[in-house]
Structure 1
Amino acid sequence: MSVYKLVDLSEYCIAKYFEQIVRDQLTTIRLLPVNLKVRLFFLLTQRGLIDDSNILVLLNSRTQVFDFHDCHITDETLSIMSKCSLNSQIERQRQISTTIDHQTMPVLNPTVVYINDRISDDGWIKFIHEYLNLRKIHLNNCPLITDKSLYSIGQCCHRLIELDLNGCMNISDEGIKELKCLLHIKSLGLAQTSITDMALYSIGQASFKHMLQEINVKQCQNITDDGFMYLLSNCPNLRTIGFLHCPKLTELSRQSLGPHTHQFSYVVWSIPV
């Protein structure tokens, strides 16, 4: 019979009754040691229990991966996190702020962010200008994210290696063009966006074209063989590629996936009959 550690049982109880604990014992949660906040933040985000109303009590300086895939957050969460950047806190100190929340805010240094659904350009752009060291950004199924956000990513996130925009239907060719000066992009998710061949041309001319190893253009309705083959010819290190349900791609695109040009480890495609 296994014996659970007291800390594990405590974490389980806090997670199970989190809403009640935040409501009744807010000060106690705020005063938890950082190592416990790290573990609780991970556990609660995995359970989808973090939202705009409670995130501040568990924010801490050690968490660098913020996985909000299963959480219901909005621009308000991004605004709270933006106020926790080093620059924001220095500015508040300069202005001699006396607000309790400002004094107790931790300094954040996020490197990985996973977000779904309910954020907009306004919230994201403010956030991105506070955190320039992001390495991985996943903005999935965010209909309010547009090319404006990509402009900010292109201007601010020079260390970025992974960008997932799958399901962001308002991303277009103009936004992809704004990424051209990034140097380190290895993975790019563009499934179910509004890109055309022009976006693939931009990727094939981008500074990261030799770094790119993975791309997903699933259900991109307007890309054709011309753009697809241009991408392949200019991105020699592609290893993983997905082009399911792209109605304008033909057998010509599949035939261009020759072993003499690329060493693919994973390819998913469907070609219309």
Structure 2
Amino acid sequence: MESLATVHVLGYGKVAPLLDVTVQCVVANLSSLYIESINLLPGNLKDKCLYLMSKRGCITDANLPKVLHENLRVLDLSESDVSDEGLRHLCKCPQLQKIDLNSAKQSRVNISSQGIIQLAQNCRNLQTVYLRRCLNLTDEAVIALSTNCPQLRYLNVGGCTMLTDRCLEALGRNSRFLKCLNMANTKITDAGIMQIATGDCKQCLKELDFKGKLQ
């Protein structure tokens, strides 16, 4: 007898968990009603919804708080259009370790230093932060990450064209576990590179990308 927890996929004879099919259906038909229902789900089911929503690029400032939970570890927003307002809700996620805000298509202009500073202050367990081509970031954003997130290991701020040597100095001083850093196409100079190369992170650094620096 077929389990009630599975359902046949027509035309292929394969079976998929009924739970997964249900989550796919909910995410494919997002509405205010469904979002309020998602808000009541346990964390493991919210993770499934978040994964599908991130792949579809349908996470917004409005629906993001409904799918967050206190044990969230990974959040991919690279395909979605969120702003500082959305990041404000990540105060619900103190265990967050990885956030991907890389610009998958056009450069981001709705994420600013204020949003990243709030993120760093609320999510101090961050280890991986991707912010490629977030054009409105200044040194203060990276400085906040370096001072508030002591476990920072992977940072991509390539294409954030306002960044200067100040953030490299902060990373070299505060981010002793930093392994990989992308600061391509920024305003850094050789002096800043020397700061990171001789800083407290020098024993851990494995990969640096400074190509296309503006100065």
Task: Give the TM-score category using the shorter length.
Answer: 0.7 to 0.9
Instruction: Indicate the residue corresponding to 1:269 in structure 2.
Output: none
Q: Which amino acid aligns with 2:152?
A: L
Q: Which SS does the other structure have where 2:197 is aligned?
A: helix
Contact 1:60/1:108 (8 A) holds in 2 = no
Selected match of 2:142 from 150, 164, 168? 150
Q: Which SS does the other structure have where 2:143 is aligned?
A: helix
1:196 equivalent to 2:205? Answer no
Which blocks of at least 5 consecutive residues in structure 2 are unaligned?
Answer: 1-12, 103-107
TM-score, L = length of structure 2: 0.86
Q: Which amino acid aligns with 1:134?
A: L
| Residues 234-273 of structure 1 aligned to structure 2 (within 5 Å) | none
Q: Which SS does the other structure have where 1:129 is aligned?
A: helix
Selected match of 1:24 from 25, 33, 36? 33
1:211 equivalent to 2:204? Answer yes
Instruction: Indicate the residue corresponding to 2:6 in structure 1.
Output: none
Deviation at 1:13, TM superposition (A): 0.9
Instruction: Indicate the residue corresponding to 2:99 in structure 1.
Output: 113
Q: Distance in 2 between matches of 1:156 and 1:130?
A: 9
Instruction: Indicate the residue corresponding to 2:21 in structure 1.
Output: 9
Q: Give the length in aligned residue pairs.
A: 196
Q: Which SS does the other structure have where 1:163 is aligned?
A: strand
Q: Which SS does the other structure have where 2:181 is aligned?
A: strand
Q: Could you list the per-position Cα deviations for residues 228-267 of structure 1 after superposition, in whole angstroms to 9, with x for gaps in the alignment? A: xxxxxxxxxxxxxxxxxxxxxxxxxxxxxxxxxxxxxxxx
1:69 equivalent to 2:55? Answer no
TM-score, L = length of structure 1: 0.68
Instruction: Indicate the residue corresponding to 1:80 in structure 2.
Output: 89
Selected match of 1:39 from 48, 60, 65? 48
Deviation at 1:26, TM superposition (A): 4.0
Instruction: Indicate the residue corresponding to 2:67 in structure 1.
Output: 58
Q: Point out the structure with max Rg over C-alpha.
A: 1
Q: Which SS does the other structure have where 1:150 is aligned?
A: helix
- Asked which structure has the greater RCO (Cα within 8 Å, sep 6+), the reply is 2
Q: Distance in 2 between matches of 1:150 and 1:8?
A: 38
Report the CA distance shift for 1:26/1:134 in structure 2 as closer, same or farther (over 3 A): closer
Q: Which SS does the other structure have where 1:178 is aligned?
A: helix
Identity %: 27
Which blocks of at least 5 consecutive residues in structure 1 are unaligned?
Answer: 85-106, 223-273
Q: Distance in 1 between matches of 2:43 and 2:129?
A: 25
Deviation at 1:149, TM superposition (A): 1.0
